[in-house]
Chains A and B, each alone.
Chain A
Amino acid sequence: MDARRHPEGMSPAEQAVAQERIAQAKAGNAEAWGELYREHAPAIFRFCRRAMPTREDAEDATMDIFIKVRQKLSQYDASRPFSAWLYAVAANHCWDLLRRRKLRQGLETGEVENMPLEHPDPGQLEQLIARRSGQEVRRALDKLPARSRMALVLRYYSDMSYDDIAATLGVRRTFVGVVLLRARHQLRDILEGQGGASLAAGGAA
């Protein structure tokens, strides 16, 4: 399995060790904190790398996130999985940066647009998916608008719940699905632009 969601799927013994380590780090044990950092930093860096537009942004964001995490560690509620909490902090940080940057550039689009999405033809969609590699998808992701990219990363990288995504992106809970679906459509359009056939067959509604 992938290395991103460590704490989930751990044995009870491992879980106890992890919880103990978090408690020690909370109490100010620098060594425990160092362990915690080494354990989670790669995943958080990869998260930032996917969420932020440049590698340098991702590096800076990773550092800032861990500074925040350390300051906020006392607020961590042990009943929640640690990685989920970590991703929530990271997501908030990155989204905050992106949103502010957008505001500065006057690109904030406000509410989710209500333009109807065309119904895809399942066969063509399947074909498109079969033809595209992970790298092509990542490159396409980088071309998405910030919110769409963020939503996909939160959902399919961090495994975040719809509630948490809604809270992070500042949209209503019922809109999360719309944001995700729209993001998929935008992604398909970009992938298609790389040389595929049209997906929108106007299909079977």
Chain B
Amino acid sequence: MIHFDEMACLLYLEGQLDAARSREMAAHVQECASCRDLLHALELETTLLSSALTEDTEPMPARLASEQSQSMPSWVWTLAFAAFAAGAYWFWNDGIGPWFDQLSNAGFGGTDVFSMIVFSGAFWEGWSDMIDAIQIGALILVAIVAIGWIRRRVRRSVAVAVVMSALLFAVALPQQAAAAEVRRGQSISVPVGETVHNDLVATGASVRIEGTVEGDVIAFTRDLTVTGHVTGDVIAFSQEALIDGTVDGNVRVFSRSVILQGIVGKNVTAFANSVDLISKATVGGGMIVFAAEADLDGKMQRDLLGMIGRTDLDGLIGGQAWIRGGSLVVASTAEIRGPATFEGPQQPVVEAGAKLASPIRTEITQEIQRTRRSAARVVFRAIFGYAGALVVGILLLVIFPGFFRATLRETGSIGLPIGIGALALIAGAFLLVLGVLLLFVGVGAGVAGAMAYAPILYVAQVFVGTWLGNRIMGETAAPTSAVAGRMAVGLLILHVARLIPILGGLVGLAVLLWGTGAVLAGFYRMSRVESAPLPT
């Protein structure tokens, strides 16, 4: 007798055989005990499998009991958005605002820890050597965020490929397409008589341009000296920058000191400790200056926009002037052809003989806002800030429970998030400065960048607070109210600690680094939820 094999038996049981074969099998089974037994055994196996799989052995976890993440009424989103906006505003007022005030009031010698790190760091001597490393860090950060983002839409390999090629494109192509000449070395010079028919990218301890560059000069160096002729822009990260020759385009400098002695065809943007516009110098366009001190003896044809600690104006401003800072002296030789505005703690000094289109409109700013705050206001703000953080935190917990959990887990591994946070903040600050410097479209771009970053910085405290609460009251993942309670306790401690002078600042900074890193790591984890290893 011809028996049916196991495969056929299974297909027969599952109703997968065609009618003819099925009849054949049915007939065969009538006579063949062996096949009948096999069918019976397979059927038992099916029953066992079925019951084993469907037996209700595990209750549904609490967090799945109701579908929170998706059935949010629209008002919750509105509230969440409002809370985020408010958070960003608070952060702006308490974080960025005073920082800007100090920037303008006292140059870069502020005592605020954050501004000290960012801005003193900017004038650190080893900065030029670090530029490459930080650029790489910034690129990596951008890549991680981009991969995470694209990953939600396409498969991992595609995402990586897209980002990698985009990065390569961004890094390699502009230089090749423009065929920029890249020079590296201890000291780089374009001697008198030499002409570079190209953009020049120079990295070295010192860069001297005595000849001609028919294109842009981009320099990462300690000392930059331009005595020759540059037909394009000069973009420089340096300690000392001296422009003594002729630059037909713009000058964008990020340097400790900037001395302009020659002719600049277009505009000057300078982030510096000191800016000197020597009397024989001419700027064809306007100037934007962020500096501790500026001596402006030369001529600029158009406007001056400055956040400058101490300004001495001896020369000509062809357009209007807007200066915010500590002090302004307008010498007898000075001339401002447009309207002028000064915002600072004291009246500007205008010497007799100075030619002004109109009197300087002056706004006296309170010197340092913080010292003037009454105790009541401090407490009020603290309560307000605490409540805001708590509302944002609870909304986050309710709306994005998965993200919250992932981020909280990251917060637990203290060292890693602090590292990521430090890298992200430095890289972020660097990108901000780079963005303002290179793609200068006004401070607006920088502000927009900071605003996009602000929510992350703001929610940083939520996770550190919840972590702290968990430490004190014991860890829990559910229910939501228990987590919220721990968050409330932790945030309260953080906010009270922040009221302590000096120590409060340090706590704030630590929370910022730690929490930001955790949030970024949380984003990363969420973008690859399926990453846990698969037991085989």
Contact = CB atoms under 8 A, between A and B. Distances in A.
A184 B45 contact: yes
A115 interface: no
A63 B535 CA distance: 22
Contact of A66 (B67, B529, B535): B67
A3 B535 CA distance: 29
Contacts of A56: 532
Contact of B66 (A34, A64, A125): A34
A11 B42 CA distance: 32
B18 interface: no
A138 B5 contact: no
B387 to A, nearest CB: 28
Interface string B37-80: 11011101110111111111110110110110111010000000
B534 interface: yes
B53 to A, nearest CB: 4
A205 B3 contact: yes
B156 interface: yes
Contacts of A130: 44
Interface stretch (B6-14, B104-112, B285-293): B6-14
Interface in A116-151: 117, 119-120, 122-123, 125-126, 129-130, 132, 134-135, 137-138, 141-142, 145-146
B16 interface: yes
A180 B14 CA distance: 11
Contacts of B61: 45, 55, 59
B165 interface: no
B388 interface: no
- The interface centre, meaning the residue of A53, A120, A129, A141 with most chain B CB atoms within 10 A of its CB, is A129
A76 to B, nearest CB: 16
B482 to A, nearest CB: 18
Given A41-B60, A177-B16, A98 B534 contact: yes
Contact of B402 (A2, A63, A145, A153): A63
Contacts of A46: 54, 56, 58
B375 to A, nearest CB: 47
B73 A30 contact: yes
A6 interface: no
Given A41-B67, A156-B50, A177-B11, A119 B6 contact: yes
Contacts of B48: 129, 132, 134, 137
Given A129-B45, A152-B53, A181 B10 contact: yes
B534 A30 contact: no
B63 A59 contact: yes
B536 interface: yes
Question: What is the size category of the interface that chain B forms with chain A?
Answer: 35 or more
A126 B534 contact: no
B373 interface: no
B67 A34 contact: yes
A126 B44 contact: yes
B155 interface: yes
A21 interface: no
Interface string B146-158: 0000000001100
Contact of A178 (B7, B71, B155): B7
A53 B532 CA distance: 10
B120 interface: no
Pick the most buried of B37, B44, B61, B64: most chain A CB atoms within 10 A of its CB.
Answer: B64
A55 to B, nearest CB: 8
A101 interface: yes
A157 interface: yes
A145 B536 contact: yes
Interface string A66-97: 11001000000000000000000000000001
Contact of B530 (A38, A100, A132): A100
A130 B48 CA distance: 9
B533 interface: yes
Contact of B64 (A62, A102, A123, A153): A62
Given A41-B60, A137-B48, A184-B45, A119 B5 contact: yes
Contact of B53 (A57, A126, A157): A157
A26 interface: no
A130 B69 CA distance: 44
B366 interface: no
A42 interface: yes
A54 to B, nearest CB: 7
Contact of B5 (A141, A152, A205): A205
Contacts of B50: 156-157
Given A117-B6, A156-B49, A177-B7, A57 B67 contact: no
A4 B57 contact: no
A97 B58 contact: no
A3 B53 contact: no
A37 B66 contact: yes
A68 B52 CA distance: 28
B411 to A, nearest CB: 18
A137 B52 contact: yes
A34 B67 CA distance: 7
Nearest to A49: B58
A204 B61 CA distance: 48
Contacts of B69: 63, 67
Given A45-B60, A100-B155, A70 B70 contact: yes
Contacts of B535: 53, 142
A122 B37 contact: yes
Contacts of A54: 532
B57 A135 contact: yes
B93 interface: no
Contacts of A70: 70
Contacts of B11: 177
B332 interface: no
Given A53-B532, A59-B61, A181-B10, 12 more contacts: A42-B60, A59-B64, A63-B402, A98-B534, A119-B6, A129-B44, A135-B57, A137-B49, A141-B52, A177-B16, A187-B49, A205-B5
20 contacts: A4-B54, A33-B67, A33-B70, A33-B71, A34-B67, A41-B60, A41-B67, A46-B56, A49-B58, A50-B53, A53-B532, A55-B58, A66-B67, A101-B531, A123-B41, A125-B44, A134-B48, A156-B50, A162-B16, A184-B10
Interface of A: 2-4, 30, 33-34, 37-38, 41-42, 45-46, 49-50, 53-57, 59-60, 62-64, 66-67, 70, 97-98, 100-102, 104-105, 107, 117, 119-120, 122-123, 125-126, 129-130, 132, 134-135, 137-138, 141-142, 145-146, 152-153, 155-157, 162, 177-178, 180-181, 184, 187, 203-205
Top 3 nearest A-B pairs (CB, nearest first) are A122-B37, A137-B52, A134-B52
